[in-house]
Amino acid sequence: MASNYDGWPRYVPVAERRQKAEREMAKLRKKGQPVAPVVIEGRSIARTFWGKAWCDNLESYHDYANRLPRGRTYVRNGSVIDLQIAPLGIKAMVSGSSIYHVAITIKALPAAPWQAICRDCTGGIDSLVELLQGRFSKGVMERLCRQDHGLFPRPAEIKFSCSCPDGAAMCKHVAAVLYGVGARLDDQPELLFRLRAVNEKDLVADLDRALPTAARAPTAGKVLESDDVSALFGLDMAADDEGAGSPAPDPAPAPAVKTAPAPRRPAGRVKPRSESKDRPAAKDESVPETAIELTPDGYVKWWK
């Protein structure tokens, strides 16, 4: 490693650091190691509620005041080439004069303060989605971000180490990693709860009790079965599976319409029509032929 006359590593320009970072990430990926660099677009390190709240909390502690500005420069330049956040721990790689390894441990949030936070936020958060997106009332926001009594760690709860030769309490590489956590919370806010070893669902655990009655599931024993419904309304309800899918029965045939019988001619003599002088009178098709008799004087006589 090249160094200046004071024994410190020589200054490496940003372009050279980026090239070194890209080569190192390529090597790690080739070995199959997952790499999650911190990429900052524009000047703002964080853009969402949780990311900004983390960075604001970080800058509120005077213990870090003189080391944070260099850290902001490093994270904006893409020097944090890998950032892995796990419960109670952060591991990262930062490209500087060389590739440095940073390890940060954060204490779990004790049970009593966490229960107090959940109790104070009851009714102020409508859903888990709203919580993770940071869309809630100002009172809830202030309670979660309350210094020393909120969700964010205090300096005494943070321990860190870096492989660089800087002997300061917090080097610029560690500061860059802490800012990188804020940027990562923009996309994965649930990581903050993992880092403090608490469950974000505790904040909305009582949400179902506040739901309106119409949104709740029916209480056991209050649902009417089909038999109960039929008894209640006096209906004869068929089982759901009987006759399902079978065609409807053919409708009953309409009753035949009875017509009155044709009136019978009275017994007696019937004088044939005048036009029938040249030919015999037509026979009545409705009377059997054996029942007709033609008399000598030209009259027709029949019997029942």
Q: Per-residue pLDDT averaged across 187-198, rounded?
A: 94
* pLDDT above 60: residue 41: yes
Whether residue 201 sits in one domain with residue 88: yes
Q: Per-residue pLDDT averaged across 112-128, rounded?
A: 91
With contact defined as beta carbons under 8 Å apart, do 69 and 179 qualify?
A: no
Whether residue 193 sits in one domain with residue 123: yes
Q: Is residue 289 part of a domain?
A: yes
What the block records as the tokens of 161 is: 């180490």
Paired sense of beta strands 99-106 and 158-162, if any: antiparallel
* CA–CA dist 165, 207 (Å, integer): 51
Q: What percent of the chain has pLDDT over 70?
A: 63
Spell out where the chain has E strands: 80-86, 89-95, 99-106, 158-162, 292-294, 300-302
Residue among 79, 158, 153, 155 at smallest CA distance from 109: 153
With contact defined as beta carbons under 8 Å apart, do 172 and 150 qualify?
A: no
Q: What is the pTM of this model?
A: 0.63
Write out the residue range of the structural domain in which residue 291 sits: 266-304
* pLDDT above 70: residue 226: no
Whether residue 165 sits in one domain with residue 53: yes
pLDDT of res. 135: 86
Whether residue 204 sits in one domain with residue 282: no
Q: Give Cα 153 to chain centroid, integer Å.
A: 31
With contact defined as beta carbons under 8 Å apart, do 62 and 169 qualify?
A: no
Residue where a domain stops, chosen among 175, 191, 210 = 210
**pLDDT band (50, 70, 90) for residue 276:** very low
Residue where a domain stops, chosen among 181, 210, 239 = 210
pLDDT of res. 278: 52
Q: Is residue 123 part of a domain?
A: yes
* CA–CA dist 83, 69 (Å, integer): 19
pLDDT of res. 255: 57
* pLDDT above 70: residue 108: yes
With contact defined as beta carbons under 8 Å apart, do 126 and 183 qualify?
A: no
* CA–CA dist 40, 44 (Å, integer): 7
Q: Is residue 176 part of a domain?
A: yes
* Separation in Å, CA 171 to CA 160, 162, 225: 10, 8, 70
Phi and psi at 197, nearest 5°, equal 60, 45
Q: Is residue 291 part of a domain?
A: yes
Q: How many domains does the chain have?
A: 2
Q: Is residue 279 part of a domain?
A: yes
* CA–CA dist 207, 123 (Å, integer): 7
pLDDT of res. 224: 38
pLDDT of res. 23: 79
Whether residue 182 sits in one domain with residue 48: yes
* pLDDT above 90: residue 80: yes
**Which amino acid, one-letter code, is at 122?**
T
Q: Which residue has the tokens 């909120």?
A: 150
Residue where a domain stops, chosen among 162, 179, 210 = 210
* pLDDT above 70: residue 55: yes
Whether residue 178 sits in one domain with residue 66: yes
- The listed range with the strongest mean pLDDT (52-56, 278-282, 300-304) is 52-56
Q: Is residue 154 part of a domain?
A: yes
Whether residue 299 sits in one domain with residue 166: no
**Which amino acid, one-letter code, is at 115?**
Q
